[in-house]
Structure 1
Amino acid sequence: MQHWSSHSAKDDAAPPADLPFSAGEYAARVTKVRSAMARQELDLLLVSAPENICYLTGLDHWGYFAPHLLVLPMNGELVLITRAMERVTVAAQVRHARFAGHPDHETVADAACRELAGRRLRRVGFEPRSSGLPMALGLALQAACAAEAWVDASGVVDAIRMVKSPAEQACLRQAAAVSDAAAMAAIQATRSGASEAEIAAACLATMAERGTYPGFGPFIRATSRLGEEHTTWSRARLEVGDALFLELSGCVARYHAPLGRLIHVGHAPPEAHAMASVAQDAFAAVVASLKDGILARDVYAAWQGVVDRAGLAHYRRHHCGYLVGIGVPPSWTGGNQVWGLRPDSDLMIRTGMSFHVLSWLMGTGQGDYFISNTVLLGDQGAQVLTQTPTDVTIR
């Protein structure tokens, strides 16, 4: 079992062909988490959020529908607890945590209590706000495992994940290329008479060929369902005059780079061009405002300022984007909490963060348009990673 107090130059070499990151990359992540644990005086952290387990171990599978726990002590080996049937998958993907499987007549809490038995635990951090820890299991852990204090550490790993390493940024760039290819496939399949399902099939085929399965499937819906935020394709066929909402993300090593466009069938109404201009200008204002140290609410203000000056001061959004990166089904947002560029957010923007920036002008009363892209704040400033054209598109 590898110890995490140090790592050799060999650990920083390119990872095996079947693994996305080097041992050194994972070691650096664990070191950062342990530093955060030390600031909270935690003896041990029980990680249950699928995105955080993926971040710290590399485990990438659909088995997260069943609760997992990663036992991360301040010193010593990591232990990954899942159903026993996941043994082969874990052995193939995880190099730096011991596997502890439990039979299906037990819960992950039963297995965790066995692992923790005999340890002197003063302060134990856990993730009660995680989608991966049902309330019943959290209560069972607290009842059966002796600890002087249980600490809500739900945001410890999430905060570290916000800033992407160079290796993570490379995955984002690859995912953006998949997004652009999938968007182009969907746009080329869009025409009068085509069904939403046919467009989805073209999009998904490209995703499968060039990347892996995304956290969300593509959102594809026509005029009658434009306002349905998280529904996707039906068997309905497009007609001349329809607008088609398209939002999707390529995925590489669980990293996502979403984009969104509004496509018109046959022709676009005159007001679409005016709204497209406003959406593009507001998007550019967001990109220009993204700088290290600025607050998320000030980024939103930059977007809203353009919208207001365009005569749409009545129009407000809950956010103009959110942080994006690792995503595990059923979402690409990084978990069940969305870290948005909201008008009330005091989140501090840092170099290395990546965002799905949305310039959404739908239901304004003066026309509709929508564009979104993935933006990375790098050392040289904010860069738009997805490059699908943002002008009014008519098919």
Structure 2
Amino acid sequence: MLFSTEEYSARLAGVRSRMADQGLAALLVSDPANIYYLTGYNAWSFYTPQLVFVPADGPMILFARAMDADGAFRTSWLPRESIIGYPEQYVHRPHVHPFDWVSFALRERHLIAPAAKGCVGLEMDSHFFSPKAYRSLVNAIPEWTMVDSFELVNWVRSIKSPAEVQLMRSAAQVCLSAMRTAVESIEIGVRQCDAAAQISRAQISGTAGIGGDYPAIVPLLPTGDEADTPHLTWNQERFQKDQAVVIELAGAHHRYHSPLARTLVLGKAPERLVRLSDAVADGLNAVLAEVRPGVPVRELARTWNWTLATHGLEKPSRIGYSIGIGYPPDWGERTISLRSEDESVLAENMTFHVIGGMWMDNYGYELSEAIRVTATGVETFTSFPRELIQKGG
């Protein structure tokens, strides 16, 4: 097992404590990151329906496609009797759903009535929980009162154990290798797709001592005029002289992610980009200086907004989010957002991707750090120079 039996027990206890607080008699977990957190199961099987049944008391049960059940046994700490495969004829059929079969399997095991004594939580905002899955459960188990669990497991995940922190440090070493590869690969005349291929190779190869994992998000490379918007990938065009390239990527190790963003110019940076980079650096440094346990998240946003305002700028979007385990399509935990409306308070061993991203008209700049809240301040997971990179100018 990747983690100790004691750690897995503590995770389940944390989930059940929160279930009790929310009045849940059972919880159905469908987010692959949450399934991995609770059971250790790790495979590319989340494109078909799967879930973990978590009762208020008693063993968890993992339901997956029959051909994936052995994979679940290979990677999960659960005993074989707690891993149940549903038949192949339920996969991608128009008039039946795997949760029809799962619901009957729960009924056969006399698990419906105990869960009917309270509400049953569903991960209503999970990327892999479809309307058809919901309809299947509602129709098959009318005894249950099903409610949104409001990212229950995700919130338990927000404070990392020492073992998880170490995995994120390892992921950061992979991230550093990938970012160095990105800077080396991006050259005038090189196709964007070829640079992306080199970055992906570095992400998966990792370092001599730390193997890489596939990241939840592919390398993002908004280039030239397109750098005025985030989340663009690459194309077959060649990099040109004086183009700016925003590089956002992550290192992943055992599904734990450490992201990083930097901006590179192939030539001499225009003055407007230099000014923007100075403003973003001031803002990010001011935010990191505020990080410590007990600080409300909104104070970080206030510090960012105030610093940016001194440069005559503003940023309407959030400046970061909680990170840890990640599966496609996202490495964020979908809980804490670093913005003025968030009521969360920082605690030791929370981990975040803090993003100074500014997208202007026909140009943009991004600078980010993956961080941990320490007992007295902040740990940045990577040590890549925090500056605008000018290459060949």
Task: Decide: shared fold, TM above 0.5.
Answer: yes
| Alignment partners' CA distance in 2, 1:128 and 1:109 | 15
Question: Aligned residue for 2:267?
Answer: 266
Question: Aligned residue for 1:4?
Answer: none
Could you tell me whether the CA contact under 8 Å between 1:116 and 1:145 is conserved in 2?
no
- Which amino acid counterpart does residue 200 of structure 1 have in structure 2? A
| Alignment partners' CA distance in 2, 1:364 and 1:293 | 38
Question: Aligned residue for 2:336?
Answer: 339
Could you tell me whether the CA contact under 8 Å between 2:227 and 2:365 is conserved in 1?
no
Bigger drift between 41-50 and 212-221 goes to 41-50
User: Which digits, 9 at most, give the CA deviation of each residue in 1:202-229, with x for residues without a partner?
Assistant: 2111111111100001101311321342
Question: Aligned residue for 2:347?
Answer: 350
Task: Kindly indicate whether residue 298 of structure 2 is the aligned counterpart of residue 297 of structure 1.
Answer: yes
| Other structure's SS at 2:379 match | strand
**Identity of paired residues, percent?**
30
Displacement after TM superposition at 1:51 (Å): 1.5
- Aligned counterparts, 1:38-49, within 5 A: 38-49=20-31
User: Which digits, 9 at most, give the CA deviation of each residue in 1:147-188, with x for residues without a partner?
Assistant: 352232132111101111111111111111111110001101
User: Which digits, 9 at most, give the CA deviation of each residue in 1:64-118, with x for residues without a partner?
Assistant: 1111110111222111001101022111101125111111323331232123213
Task: Kindly indicate whether residue 175 of structure 2 is the aligned counterpart of residue 179 of structure 1.
Answer: yes
Q: CA RMSD in A?
A: 1.8
Residue of structure 2 aligned with 1:129, choices 125, 131, 144: 125
Task: Kindly indicate whether residue 205 of structure 2 is the aligned counterpart of residue 209 of structure 1.
Answer: yes
Could you tell me whether the CA contact under 8 Å between 1:122 and 1:149 is conserved in 2?
no
Bigger drift between 265-274 and 350-359 goes to 265-274
Displacement after TM superposition at 1:295 (Å): 2.4
| Other structure's SS at 1:246 match | strand
Task: Kindly indicate whether residue 102 of structure 2 is the aligned counterpart of residue 101 of structure 1.
Answer: no
Structure 2 unaligned segments of length 5 or more: list them.
91-96, 207-211
- Aligned counterparts, 1:225-374, within 5 A: 225-312=226-313, 315-334=314-333, 337=334, 339-363=336-360, 368-374=364-370
Residue of structure 1 aligned with 2:158, choices 141, 162, 167: 162
Displacement after TM superposition at 1:54 (Å): 1.3
Displacement after TM superposition at 1:291 (Å): 2.4
Give the TM-score normalised by the residue count of structure 1: 0.89
Task: Kindly indicate whether residue 17 of structure 2 is the aligned counterpart of residue 35 of structure 1.
Answer: yes
| Other structure's SS at 1:350 match | coil
Bigger drift between 350-359 and 271-280 goes to 271-280
| Alignment partners' CA distance in 2, 1:41 and 1:370 | 42
Task: Kindly indicate whether residue 101 of structure 2 is the aligned counterpart of residue 111 of structure 1.
Answer: yes
- Aligned counterparts, 1:379-394, within 5 A: 379-394=375-390
Aligned length: 372
- Which amino acid counterpart does residue 322 of structure 2 have in structure 1? L
Q: Relative to 1, partners in 2 of residues 1:280 and 1:311: Cα closer, same or farther, differing over 3 Å? A: same
Bigger drift between 125-134 and 106-115 goes to 106-115
| Alignment partners' CA distance in 1, 2:126 and 2:235 | 31
Could you tell me whether the CA contact under 8 Å between 2:86 and 2:102 is conserved in 1?
no
Question: Aligned residue for 1:16?
Answer: none
Displacement after TM superposition at 1:189 (Å): 1.1
| Other structure's SS at 1:62 match | coil
| Other structure's SS at 2:262 match | strand
Question: Aligned residue for 2:63?
Answer: 81
Could you tell me whether the CA contact under 8 Å between 1:50 and 1:328 is conserved in 2?
yes
Structure 1 unaligned segments of length 5 or more: list them.
1-18
Displacement after TM superposition at 1:134 (Å): 1.0
| Other structure's SS at 1:287 match | helix
Could you tell me whether the CA contact under 8 Å between 2:186 and 2:195 is conserved in 1?
yes
Displacement after TM superposition at 1:146 (Å): 4.4
| Alignment partners' CA distance in 1, 2:366 and 2:144 | 52
User: Which digits, 9 at most, give the CA deviation of each residue in 1:223-270, with x for residues without a partner?
Assistant: 132134222011111111100110000001111111101100022112
Q: Relative to 1, partners in 2 of residues 1:226 and 1:108: Cα closer, same or farther, differing over 3 Å? A: same
- Which amino acid counterpart does residue 374 of structure 2 have in structure 1? G
Could you tell me whether the CA contact under 8 Å between 1:263 and 1:394 is conserved in 2?
yes
Give the TM-score normalised by the residue count of structure 2: 0.90
Task: Kindly indicate whether residue 376 of structure 2 is the aligned counterpart of residue 376 of structure 1.
Answer: no
- Which amino acid counterpart does residue 40 of structure 1 have in structure 2? Q
